[in-house]
Structures are given as structure tokens and as C-alpha cells.
Amino acid sequence: MASVPQLQRQLIEYTASLYDEKYLDDQFLQLQKLQDESNPEFVVEVVSLFFEDSEKLLNNLATALQQKSVDYKQVDSHVHQFKGSSSSIGAQRVTNVCVHFRNYCEEKNLDGCLQCLQQVKHEYILVRNKLEALFRLEQQILQAGGSIPMME
């Protein structure tokens, strides 16, 4: 088992890489700032809610786009939801894809939508994996008795 400082360094580097690769943006930082003693599990709470929501939305989107006559209005509202929640947690790559997705919706471009659905799924799984990894690291630090270092 690695030592606490090592883990802490690892966490910082990992977080930094997430920002660098634009998986996350400032909003995630803001989110982290909102977490304090009175609300110690805030980030995890929000992010797991996001995962839950997202999976539901992705399912909805997949079924909506498989319909014979696609209800683009509904698809759009799903994507809007997805965009809102992703931007709330700062998953900016997901948000960006959502923006494209909505454009295709407006154009009623089925191929574009399907392509975007794949992309957004992909991005979502990526960011989920990254965030899960991040939380695991944090858990490890906490279990090792260390504190989570704050990013500047």
C-alpha cells in the first residue's frame, strides 16, 4: 500500500490530468469547493446522481432514436437534460457533444443524432471511469488516514 503523500501526489496529478484533457472544468472545482464539513459527501452525492440520471437518459435516448418516427422534441429535451447535468458537474466533453447533439436534433438529422449518441455514450463512460478512479483514489487516501488535497 502506498503512503499517504504518494497517494496525495497521485491524486493531484490525476486530477490535473483530468483538467488538462478537458474531461472536467472549473465547475467541478466549484463543486468541490461546495463540499465542507457540513456536507462531506457532496461531490460523490452529486456525481452519483449524475451517473444515475445519465444512464436513464442514455437509455431513453437510445429507445427514442430507435422509434420508427423519431420524436425529435423529446430527444432534444433529453439531450438538454443531459447537457444541463453534465455542465453542472463540469463534465465538459459530454456537454460539448450534447451541444452538437442538439444541433442535429434541430436539423432532424437521424444519422447525426445516432452518431452523437454513440459519442456521448463514449464520453460519458470515459468520464465515469475517470471520476470513479478519482473517487477510489480519494477513498484510498481517506482510508490511509490522509486528507484530500485541494486543487488550486
Candidates 27, 60, 96, 140: give the one binding other proteins (CB under 8 A).
27
Nearer to other proteins, 4 or 46 (CB): 46
Pick the stretch among 59-67, 81-89, 111-119, 126-134 that binds other proteins (CB under 8 A): 81-89
Answer whether 37's CB lies under 8 Å from 65's CB: no
Q: Which of 17, 84, 106, 132 binds other proteins (CB under 8 A)?
A: 84
Taking a C-beta distance cutoff of 8 angstroms, is the pair 57, 65 a contact? Answer: no
d(CA 6, CA 1): 10
Looking at residues 34 to 63 of the shown chain, list those that interact with other proteins (rule: CB under 8 A).
34, 36, 38-39, 42, 45-46, 49-50, 53
Q: Which is nearer to other proteins, 25 or 114 (CB)?
A: 25
Does 16 bind other proteins (CB under 8 A)? Our answer is no
Name the segment binding other proteins (CB under 8 A); options: 6-14, 82-90, 105-113, 124-132: 82-90
The b-or-e profile of 34-50 (16+ CB within 10 A means b, else e) is ebeeeeeeebeebbeeb
Q: In whole angstroms, how close is the CB of 85 to other proteins at the nearest point?
A: 3
To the nearest 10 degrees (0 to 180), the angle between helices 42-66 and 110-143 is: 160
Residue 54 C-alpha cell reads as 445519465
Instruction: Decide if 74 contacts 84 (C-beta within 8 A).
Output: no
DSSP state of 150: P
Q: Which parts of this chain interact with other proteins (CB under 8 A)?
A: 27, 30-31, 33-34, 36, 38-39, 42, 45-46, 49-50, 53, 77, 80-81, 84-89
